[in-house]
Structure 1
Amino acid sequence: MANGDIQAVQAFHDVTKLSYINLLTKPPLYKSYAGLKQVSLPEPPPPETPALKAVAGPTSATAGRLDLEAVSQLLHYSAGLIRKSNSATAGEVHYRAAASAGALYPIELYLVCGDFHGLAAGVYHYAPADNALTQLREGDFRGNLAAAAADDSLATVLATIVSTAVFWRSAWKYRTRGYRYCFWDNGTVFANLLATANSLGQQARLLTGFVDRDVDQILGVESEQEASTCLVPLGAAGGLRPYVARALSAIDSGDLGFTEAITYPESDLLHAEARLDSPQQVSDWRGHVHRFEDIRIPVVPSEPLGKAIVERGSTRRFAREPISKEQLSELLAASSTPMTADFGFGLSEPYLIVNAVNGVSPGAYHYSRQSGELELLKEGDFRAEAGHLCFEQALGADASAVVFFLADLESALGRLGNRGYRAAQLEAGVMGGNVYIAAHSLGLGATGMTFFDDAVTAFFSPHAAGKSLMFLVGLGRTGIPNRVRPFRSKYGALKDSLARGASGERRPVPDWLYSN
């Protein structure tokens, strides 16, 4: 009867069908809570600190006042809705403060706070479209957060911002790889948050180590669909004192706008295997929070931070015009600004392909985050290579420079375990987010892109041998019109020919081309 059982054919045919992305299953960009109390935030004044200075570090020796206006600034200029436009084909388009892969915005922000100027103690969700806070819990739950993070200071800082990732928003388009993109997006959001905090004189640090289950429970999120990714305590602690972790009742988990999501076992397993299950595990994992006091003074004037964020948008075409060496130096310095974080400093290192920078020879380079020096790895015109490495996109070939953030994952995972992968992706996202801010503050364009992973490592080897690409950003002068240019590199064409049976004997084939 096997030949008469047609279920095998039906199943095979269905899973091997080709189709464009299913727009009917696209998840909404906003989370909502029906019937819960909202607190409207005041109109956030734009941060006026020069953007490069804000990215470089705290701009004031004295702590700024954390009130409702400051909270509004921090949230709006990190993840808020900054403008809308109408597309003839797509309708109303929403633009958020930080760059997001595919404009899918998987990151949600929450606030856990005590009583302070203009806001009652509680747990809140930030609604970007309304610039408002939805109260999820009433009362002081900072002690619960301190216990989950194994950090007593969280019980006395006025507020902590907690980020979560709604995995299906990215996985809907990018599938298993979407897990990476969630942390890239988390990084660009936090690049904005850290710069805004610096401009307000607010201390801010990144804590990626915490008991996952406990933080998710504080927020009331369903961990399979939405999970906590990072904590950002704001301001100085009010001195250590005994605290109480309150009993947690079940609360509304909110409406993500979808009921069924395709699961991707590899990313689900990775997230589960990277969890921490007890405060002791958190303490053992963290060691200590790395703080950095040296602040670099930018030498090039830049636009105010608020203006740079509001006017930011991913470049769709670069003009193939040069930028200056001074501009490149500031962009690289911005990317490598030390951040106060529990995973340390320097998981990723910048590598570059320079196409058109006055005073810098075209070629492949490594940038030292410690010395600020460029090391030439190989000289030459690598526009075609850049376009191919950037997933066959003209943006890589046309950019003045492309910055690749590579991490030694073996070292990071050896020190931090599976959770080190989250940290490496997040750090690279912050580095890329800083480049976005810096580029737009200098009147330049920038865009993140996807890439051929192993080919990038092979191209920059032997220097980059053993390292893995986390994130990349192309930068340069925005082209007119700012629309995607059709592109096919000679390497893409060669790969197609070789895949169809050509031998490649008539022309040399670089070794890196055979990498994935």
Structure 2
Amino acid sequence: MSERVRAYHQLSMHRPDGFAPGPGALDWATQPAPFRQYRGARLIELWHRPLEESPGYDEVFAGPVGEPVPLSLASLSQLLYDSLGLSAWKESGGSRWALRVNPSSGNLHPTEAYLVAPPGVLQEEGLLLHYRPDLHAAEVRAELDSASMQTLPGDGVLVALSSIPWREAWKYGERAYRYCQHDLGHALACFSIAASALGWQVRLMRQLAEPELDRLMGLSGEGFAEAEHADALLWIGSPRTSEPRLDESLLDALANASHQGQPNRLSARYRDWPALAEVQRQCRAPELPARDWSAAPGASEPANPELVLRPLLHRRRSAQAMDGRAGITAELLRAWLSRLMPVHSPVPFAVSGESAQVDLLLFVHRVQGLTPGLYWLARSGDGSPVSGLRDFAWRRMDEALPLYLLEEGNAQQLAGLLSCGQEIASDGCLAVAMLARFDEALREGDWRYPRLYWECGQIGQLLYLEAEAAGLSGTGIGCYFDPLVHELLGLADSRWQSLYHFTLGRAVWDERLSSQPAYAQTRRPAP
């Protein structure tokens, strides 16, 4: 790991005596527009099924459900609707804003999606598309030369996920890079789950260096007032395709494409954050060797056999406050934690082909059957107690799960203190700190730094859904005092680093807000 990335990580920490460098106050005149659009680009209207037309909730985590659905306008529309679409509009005091299926820090949504659809799916030519969640439509950025372009591997579709750092930096300053990568992890989980419901799998492609991916997606040319960077290229298609590869003819077609539409300006002006820009350059992935994507078998038995998936995806909300009274059972907590184990949930954790690097520190407040206190879920490594932490009890609490009691006691005030004094962390049933095997992962290169946040985002997305499935709510917490978490654990080095916090409980909703449907009507394809 380079000293530049280590320096950014230290700079972007929140401390009790001072927060990471940020704007201090919000400049509402420069608030970024919430939706990227390409003016002048042709629109393709997408559609979606009623939410009740859905597979079971538990089915999707074990792997693709049923036979793969044919690649078509209908199936691509459903994929986007269930992963990145709007879930509702909210209004209060004359203000109106959108909520989305994929969570985002501060509801700022830096993540954009671009699709490469093969010839004959949406039209005779292959297409490079940009997804417009506000319209549930696709903008045609380029028509690809189908004469020289072979079909995509395994008759699948490519999806590039990009980030616009300014959207987060407007509010969070230098720490924004962390939040962009959290959001990318949430989006990866959303795509994995939505694809599984269609009988498809998702694989992270490693064949292209990220700067080259910028060029192929049309993000490196002139006209972008605010920088946008491609962070991940996904292949989505039939699980019968074991090792998708990018054909040179496809890459040539993308490289020679004539791009349509002008990107909109998101703010009248923006502020540069030097460390943010530097870590963005430093952590871009090079071309990497292919991974073995064999997913681990052994998904757990369905815990919620009567629940269906899609209503939960579109019902998910981030709680703004918890009631401080509701509790859960130890049985429910164990079901949640089992869902977070990669061996039990190939979807979404098999998407990168990389081993888990994140464990969980649990602050248990109100869990019937478990003593309040600090617990550790060893979801990475071999599940053994972790060395290098201070002298904890490490009492194994479950035969099937590597769950350990570290220390008994009331941890509510501690959870709130560590999460920048936010009461929501102490008012839930429990709070979670996600700790990554920092130095170990980053020995492979600086490009592994953002991917640790991706894994945290994937964990967070499953916690959101598990809470919703239980009639409760969750929320991600990006503001926490990094050094205090490390001090609590007795960490004297950077082997483990806290990268994301989360809390779950019964939400208290603001009744002053009104809610409207995400889209005016359900749009079905022509018969």
Q: Normalising by structure 1, what TM-score?
A: 0.81
Residues 402-441 of structure 1: pairs in structure 2 closer than 5 A: 402-415=431-444, 417-441=445-469
What is the match of residue 371 of structure 2? 361
Tell me if structure 2 keeps the 8 A contact 1:166–1:227: yes
SS of alignment partner, residue 263 of structure 2: coil
Any idea what the Cα deviations from partners look like across 1:397-455, whole Å, max 9, x if unmatched? 1110112211011001002x111011101111011011111211221110011211121
Shift, 1:468, TM fit: 0.8
- Give the letter for the 1:212 counterpart: E
Count of residue pairs the alignment pairs up: 453
Residues 225-304 of structure 1: pairs in structure 2 closer than 5 A: 225-236=227-238, 237=241, 243-244=248-249, 245-246=252-253, 247-249=255-257, 251=259, 252=261, 254-258=263-267, 260-276=269-285, 281-283=287-289, 288-289=292-293, 291-301=295-305, 303-304=307-308
The verdict on how the C-alpha distance between 1:205 and 1:482 changes in structure 2, with shifts beyond 3 A counting, is: farther
Q: 2:80 aligns with which of 63, 68, 75?
A: 75
Q: 1:186 aligns with which of 181, 184, 187?
A: 184
SS of alignment partner, residue 232 of structure 2: strand
Aligned mates of 1:471, 1:335 — CA distance in 2: 15
Shift, 1:131, TM fit: 0.6
Residues 389-400 of structure 1: pairs in structure 2 closer than 5 A: 389-400=418-429
What is the match of residue 466 of structure 1? 495
Unaligned segments of structure 2, at least 5 residues = 1-20, 384-399, 513-527
Any idea what the Cα deviations from partners look like across 1:61-92, whole Å, max 9, x if unmatched? x323222222112111211112112111x511
Aligned mates of 2:218, 2:122 — CA distance in 1: 24
Identity %: 26
The structure whose residues are more often helix, as a share, is: 1
Any idea what the Cα deviations from partners look like across 1:21-64, whole Å, max 9, x if unmatched? 1111111010111111111012344362233432343333x323
Question: Once structures 1 and 2 are overlaid, which stretch shifts more, 178-187 or 321-330?
Answer: 321-330
What is the match of residue 108 of structure 1? 112
- Give the letter for the 2:272 counterpart: T
The verdict on how the C-alpha distance between 1:426 and 1:472 changes in structure 2, with shifts beyond 3 A counting, is: same
Shift, 1:335, TM fit: 2.8
Aligned mates of 2:188, 2:76 — CA distance in 1: 14
The verdict on how the C-alpha distance between 1:346 and 1:18 changes in structure 2, with shifts beyond 3 A counting, is: closer
The verdict on how the C-alpha distance between 1:26 and 1:425 changes in structure 2, with shifts beyond 3 A counting, is: same
Q: 2:313 aligns with which of 286, 292, 309?
A: 309
The verdict on how the C-alpha distance between 1:157 and 1:230 changes in structure 2, with shifts beyond 3 A counting, is: farther
SS of alignment partner, residue 51 of structure 1: coil
- Give the letter for the 2:203 counterpart: R
- Give the letter for the 1:351 counterpart: L
Aligned mates of 1:395, 1:79 — CA distance in 2: 26
What is the match of residue 167 of structure 1? 165
Shift, 1:106, TM fit: 0.6
Tell me if structure 2 keeps the 8 A contact 1:377–1:460: no
Shift, 1:19, TM fit: 6.0
What is the match of residue 136 of structure 1? 141
Shift, 1:291, TM fit: 3.3
The verdict on how the C-alpha distance between 1:447 and 1:111 changes in structure 2, with shifts beyond 3 A counting, is: same
Question: Once structures 1 and 2 are overlaid, which stretch shifts more, 168-177 or 464-473?
Answer: 464-473
Shift, 1:241, TM fit: 9.5
Question: Once structures 1 and 2 are overlaid, which stretch shifts more, 121-130 or 237-246?
Answer: 237-246
- Give the letter for the 1:297 counterpart: E
Tell me if structure 2 keeps the 8 A contact 1:53–1:297: no
Tell me if structure 2 keeps the 8 A contact 1:155–1:243: no
Tell me if structure 2 keeps the 8 A contact 1:164–1:229: yes
The verdict on how the C-alpha distance between 1:385 and 1:19 changes in structure 2, with shifts beyond 3 A counting, is: closer
SS of alignment partner, residue 282 of structure 1: coil
Tell me if structure 1 keeps the 8 A contact 2:192–2:351: no
Aligned mates of 2:301, 2:72 — CA distance in 1: 28
Aligned mates of 2:133, 2:181 — CA distance in 1: 19
Tell me if structure 1 keeps the 8 A contact 2:40–2:262: no
- Give the letter for the 1:51 counterpart: Y
Any idea what the Cα deviations from partners look like across 1:360-382, whole Å, max 9, x if unmatched? 11111111325523100111111
What is the match of residue 48 of structure 1? 54
Question: Once structures 1 and 2 are overlaid, which stretch shifts more, 40-49 or 212-221?
Answer: 40-49
Q: Normalising by structure 2, what TM-score?
A: 0.79
Tell me if structure 2 keeps the 8 A contact 1:112–1:142: no
- Pair member with larger Rg: 1
Tell me if structure 2 keeps the 8 A contact 1:115–1:158: no
Shift, 1:259, TM fit: 5.5
- Give the letter for the 1:359 counterpart: G
Tell me if structure 2 keeps the 8 A contact 1:343–1:423: no
- Give the letter for the 1:262 counterpart: R
Tell me if structure 2 keeps the 8 A contact 1:116–1:158: no
Shift, 1:154, TM fit: 5.6
